[in-house]
A and B are shown apart, each in its own frame.
Chain A
Amino acid sequence: MSTAALHAPRRRKPWREWLASYLFLLPALGFFLLFVVYPMGKGIYISFFDYSLSDFDYVGLDNYRNLLRDDVFFKSMRNTLLLVLVTVPAVIAFSLFVAMSIYKMRAFGRSFFRAVFYLPAVSSVVSITVVWASIYHPNYGLLNYVTGLFGAEPVAWLGDTRTALLSIIAVLVTTSVGQPIILYVASLGNIPASYIEAAQIDRATPWVIFRKIIWPMLMPTNLYIIVITTINTFQCFAIIQLLTSGGPMYSTSTVMYGVYEQAFKLGHFGVASAMGVMLAIVIGIISFIQFKYFGSDVEY
């Protein structure tokens, strides 16, 4: 954080500066309060009601109580956490691999690969999912065709509890690595070459160089990537809706998908809001841990 702002000259009356600051903030804050904070409050309010189609009855904590007794909700919560726990490290590992391989390439190669890995992130997720649905198809899917060439039995990738979530994660990872790669390439480029050269003179192995020099210098980038990837993963919706609709046996159902199903498919807005509130609490806890654990040396 820039310390200069704190030492800003105080010659003028501070309230003028304050007023100007608030006015600059006003539009953003206004939109934020109206379209984020207020709905958030209203969501909490609705979660205490049986709000479905024409009904609007106060039910206290019933929605929460029912959720805590609902296996499907727990399964969805578990899937949501699993999705984050697998996707985030996978994204980091994959982007770091790509970034390490390309950051010392010539400009053209670098831009080319960066662009290739960014493609799925910028193009419409609906388009991507359409293709993946046909790749994963149990009967005429490309994936089964290719594995079949090697003599493997066909697999119902999205229709088997053992593979469905992994298949979703694979798609999610392809749509999530674009930005991390760009960030890592830049961070790696910022590591002074002299550090690495010095280590090489000392005959450090590449692994040691990575562990002791590169990785520590990447920590701020890591935090940023972890945060954006976690958010992105929690928001994963279209992929699940279009590929599995949460199945089979709820093995790909996430809380996010549950919110959608309860609210918009079944019209149970109260229950959906309660799910949303519980998800927000979980996300809050996770973000807190992430900042505490990875963010000790990064200040926002």
Chain B
Amino acid sequence: MFNKISKKLLLAPIAAAVMAFFPVAHAEDTIKVGVLHSLSGTMAISETTLKDTMLMLIDEQNKKGGLLGKKLEAVVVDPASNWPLFAEKARELLTKDKVSAIFGCWTSVSRKSVLPVIEELNGILFYPVQYEGEESSKNVFYTGAAPNQQAIPAVDYLMNDLGVKRWVLAGTDYVYPRTTNKILEAYLKSKKVAKKDIMINYTPFGHSDWQSIVADIKKFGSAGKKTAVVSTINGDANVPFYKELGNQGISAENIPVIAFSVGEEELSGIDTKPLVGHLAAWNYFMSVDTTKNAAFIKEWHDFIKNPKRVTNDPMEAHYIGFNMWVKAVEKAGTTDPDAVQKAIIGVEYPNLTGGMSKMLPNHHISKPVLIGEIQDDGQFVTVWQTNKLVDGDAWSDYLPESKPIIADWTPPINCGNYNTKTKKCSGQNY
């Protein structure tokens, strides 16, 4: 340890001297940022956009003069939608490329695969996608929505504003929908919704024959009570699902569907006519009318050189996460993970929808919740939004097993899963 520091101390003046003589920054003098998003395979559809977003943000920061007087350098790797490869590539980024922070992952399973590596090597990961919660690692910063920043407000909206009495929880069969639906079911029951008024349904990835399920939903919804579908259906399966809804005559006016995984990017590849009026809950919509957002969209179009490309929620999450990291590094005066982890808590950065997001002690951020209706141009019209930002909650209060657990990475607790009843930090690191 001492050796390392003394080496660094020795090197610093030399580096400065070299910099003075050579105006072009040498590779050694850059701060490396890892970008860990799939560029091939099934997830490439969504993740390629995030890679481009990161390149744009880094490019922009360099134009502003870099960070701590150094240029930022992106190290892009391709984990190819292969979960074990995510862990390997993360290890490569941290040990070989020695990146200061990693921005990456989309699916929960890829994050879970990276987690042990990033904790072992004490790296920093910014995770930009809405997820099921029930996790808080010392080394991960969750800039996407936790369930209480997306699912719970969405259900509240349906219940209070649309008067929904019967609920269909439909999802793809994997960890995010299962956990989210478990939380939602507990939440609905706490709101006195009877068991017979909740229908839960899981389908395989890429499911395309929705006839009987949609017919069931129709039957379930025609019992005289207002019914809504809360959809955690992922990816490709959405198109045939919405098509079948349209064909069987279910419109958003009689049974609205609220989706947590359908954003502008997903809508750009499909015929949106049958979807008009259905809902989605996010923390950002491209249609939000703020000057910050307009500037961001313009910058994105200029960078990607295609004025038809859309922006979406995970892009905003990276925007916030990256800028918070920049602020934290400036505050700490170093990119050392421990210092940055300490410095970033409490850092504030304006989000694109007009609020000021803040990094919380549980490594989640505060965000507004927006509910939008799909329009036929593939954009959303905001029909409801929280009047202030909602703090991300790592451990859901609606599941009995995680109710007493909190995450707080500030002293004296310094723990990702601290049980407030037993006053103990669980043995796990997250």
A and B interact physically: no
